[in-house]
Structure 1
Amino acid sequence: MYRISQLAAKAGLSRSTLLYYEKLGLISSKRQANGYRTYSDHDLQQLKLLQQLQAGGLTLRECRACLESRIDRALLLERLQTLEQEIAAKQQSRDLLASILGMASMRQWHQALESQAPGAHLDWLLKQGFSEKQALRLKWLSKDMNQHEQYMADFERIFEGLDCLGPGSAEDTLQALHALPVVPRTLLEIGCGRGSTTVLLAERTQGLITALDNDEYSLSCLRETVTARALQDRVTLVCASMTELPFAGRQFDAIWAEGSAYIMGFAEALKNWRPFIRAQGFLVVSDLVWLADKPHQEAAVFWQHNYPDMATVSSRLAAVGKLGYRVLHSYPLSQQAWQNYLAPLREKVAGLCAQDFSTKALADINNELDIHQRYLGEYGYQLFVLQKEG
């Protein structure tokens, strides 16, 4: 027999807890002549069993039901499922903390945050000390800030010497230019890269071209081309952010943005750039879109990770009117536009050795090339020629 203090010590519980359990009928005492409560070994065993049931996540009420009758299997299965969900959530929390501390990759976390809150994602990266150029690249390329510097070095090594950083062709660009009812006298190209479109627009118009990019190296390449073609009087190069354009309102007859709006998000780009276009001015913009109603799952999963905002052409067209534009023309980029980008890249990648890369940059490029090889046509770039309303 045990006095209450002895039972409390044996069970590792407080005296008040034992009195509460006795009130619930989980244990029972016998009163001695001197008024002291005493408990049997059966009560101690009941307490041990009760503690084990509680460790399984059962409430006291549920524990009592199990002690008084047969085990409720459905109840225990429900508790097991709840515990598994809690364990998964804690594992996810553990993985995130390990990633932030540099002990694991942050790719999945970046992808999830980019899908759910792209604006907050960018702000957070900037607060971590990344420049905007680094943050934008991290969002869309490496997606792992712990490996970002080396990843970007590997990425730039892959694209070194290539003129096309994305799909495009002179024919597609000129088709958009000819769709404009008037030739713009002042034109801003956003995300000009190394300037193939910049030079074409400068040579086919007599207007003033402002070419903007946040990559100094790309702009230096363009500067050499502009000088070689004697276009420096009409082409101004600006290294700045597409998210915070350093220009006066309504400064340009047209804004041109091939293959760059996705960095901000299509709708966000159209909304943010609109104030810089003169009344009844124009926006020429391309976006990666779904062309098939039911794309293959592998393609869908790939682009869900790499461009969560990707939508159909009809969805993009429906959004245009709500953002203060009307559609003058819309068409998919040609196969030649893709070939101009993919053929040199495939040739370059074929000559590289995976063992020479310490990050996933080359593997990621190869994976993208494989997706293009098998599924291009289920998606593609759509070029939109828009006019500002109001």
Structure 2
Amino acid sequence: MTEQSEPPLEMVFSFYESIQRKGPGSEASTLKAFSLLNDLPATPRIVEFGCGAGVATLPLARSSRGHLTAVDIHQPFLDELQATAAHEGLADRITTVQADMGNPPFPNNTFDLIWSESAIYNLGFEQGLRLWKPLLKPGGHIAVSEVVWLTSEPPRKAKEFWDADYPSMTTVNENQNRMKAAGFDLLGHFVIPTEDWQNYYGPLQDHVTAFRTKHSANATAQAFADSLQQEIDLWKEYGDSYGYCFFIGKAV
């Protein structure tokens, strides 16, 4: 969405409360990224920024045997995560914290692993890496997914959309360079598969349609739905030119 069409945050949060996955991804991709971290402590301390309702938090808790601090700015997302964690017997392994990822309320040298899926763009890729790196213990790890160009010559419509929405978006290679500049050795990376986008856009499309009907007389709501529909349609037409890439690194 461009700045001119930004809806109220209350509307955005309310819209996404009933959608389990807040961005492209899958449990399979989460676990694939986690598998590239081969020298974590036996019970790592993990912080996840932009956790939403926990679609990555929960599989990480099951797989890591560590303790997760799940951070999001919207308390209802965290309430849902807490309820699910309790139901799965993971409540003692997950602590939720309502906070801005751009102002994390943690001491330096606290965590063995920083995790963030489809959320670091809120800060900017390199800015987020530099901000979060001091939170890691020496030799700590980071795993983040970030939207990237998959071609050196993106289609005009796709370029115009992303230039307006996220002008610092760049290529996989350039983000690897940014990761090194921020003080990380790159351990691995991979582009998430098409199914991970379908996991997000399928339910999103259904919700956009229902949202339009429910708020038919609300011009702001209709503009918000228009912006989401534009994003979905753009991906259907030009999704082979961009994608989300997982970047896994180790602090040096």
1:153 shift after superposition: 4.3
Whole-angstrom distance in 1 between the partners of 2:179 and 2:133: 11
1:333 & 1:287 partners in 2: Cα distance?
A: 10
Q: Which structure features the higher share of strand residues? A: 2
* Structure that is richer in helix per residue: 1
Superposition pairs of residues 344-363 of structure 1, within 5 angstroms: 344-351=203-210, 352-353=212-213, 355-359=216-220, 360-363=223-226
What SS does structure 1 have at the residue aligned with 2:167? Answer: coil
Post-superposition shift, 1:195?
Answer: 0.5
Alignment equivalent of 2:243, drawn from 380, 387, 390: 380
C-alpha distance in 1, partners of 2:17/2:68?
A: 26
Query: Which of 362, 367, 370 in structure 1 is aligned with 2:233?
Result: 370
131, 134, 147: which is aligned to 1:288? 147
* Greater C-alpha Rg: 1
Structure possessing the higher relative contact order (Cα contacts under 8 Å, 6 or more residues apart): 2
Aligned partners of 1:345, 1:268: CA distance in 2, in Å? Answer: 29
User: Which position in structure 2 is the counterpart of 1:224?
Assistant: 83
Are residues 1:182 and 2:56 paired? no
| Superposed displacement of residue 155, structure 1 | 3.2
Q: Note if 1:304 corresponds to 2:190.
A: no
Match of 2:72 in 1: 213
Give the match for residue 162 of structure 1. 19
**CA shift at 1:226, angstroms?**
1.1
**1:158–1:362 Cα contact (<8 Å) kept:** no
- Asked if structure 2 preserves the Cα contact closer than 8 Å seen for 1:177 and 1:183, the reply is no
Which runs of structure 2 are paired with 1:1-390 in the superposition (5 Å)? 110=3, 142-143=5-6, 148-149=7-8, 152-184=9-41, 185-351=44-210, 352-353=212-213, 355-359=216-220, 360-389=223-252
Aligned residues: 246
Q: What's the TM-score once normalised by structure 2's chain length?
A: 0.92
Other structure's SS at 1:196 match: coil
Q: Write out per-residue CA displacement over residues 257-285 of structure 1, whole angstroms, 9 at most, x where no aligned residue.
A: 11111101111101010101111110001
The verdict on how the C-alpha distance between 1:244 and 1:159 changes in structure 2, with shifts beyond 3 A counting, is closer
Shift of 1:307: 0.7
**Corresponding letter in the other structure for 1:366:** Q
Contact 1:155 / 1:362 at 8 angstroms: preserved in 2? Answer: no
- In the alignment, which residue of structure 2 is the partner of 1:72? none
Tell me, in whole angstroms, the C-alpha distance in 1 between the residues paired with 2:114 and 2:12.
28
SS of equivalent to 1:326: strand
Q: Identity rate of aligned residues, in percent?
A: 32
**Deviation per residue, 1:21-66 (Å, 9 max, x gap):** xxxxxxxxxxxxxxxxxxxxxxxxxxxxxxxxxxxxxxxxxxxxxx
State how far apart, in whole Å, the 2-side matches of 1:158 and 1:276 are: 32
Q: Which whole-Å CA distance do the structure 1 matches of 2:53 and 2:240 have between them?
A: 26
Residue 321 of structure 1 and its aligned partner are, at CA, apart by 1.3
Asked whether the 8 Å contact 2:120–2:144 carries over to 1, the reply is yes
* 1:372 shift after superposition: 0.9
Deviations 1:266-321 (A, max 9, x none): 11101010101111110001111000111110110000111111011111111111
Q: d(CA) in 1 for partners of 2:15 and 2:134?
A: 37
Deviations, residues 103-155 of structure 1 (Å, cap 9, x unaligned): xxxx97x47xxxxxxxxxxxxxxxxxxxxxxxxxxxxxx53xxxx43xx4443
Structure 2 unaligned residues grouped into runs of 5+? none
Deviation at 1:221, TM superposition (A): 1.0
**1:217-255 deviations in Å (ceiling 9; x for gaps):** 111111111111121111111111211211111111110
- Residue aligned with 1:254, SS: strand
What SS does the aligned partner of 2:142 have?
strand
d(CA) in 2 for partners of 1:295, 1:173: 27
- Distance in 2, Cα, partners of 1:244 & 1:284: 19
- Deviation of 1:337 after TM superposition, in Å, equals 1.1
Shift of 1:158: 3.8
Q: Which amino acid aligns with 1:361?
A: F
Asked whether the equivalents of residues 214 and 241 of structure 1 are also in contact (C-alpha less than 8 Å), the reply is: yes
TM-superposed CA distance for 1:357, in Å, is 3.1
Matched residue type, 1:296: P
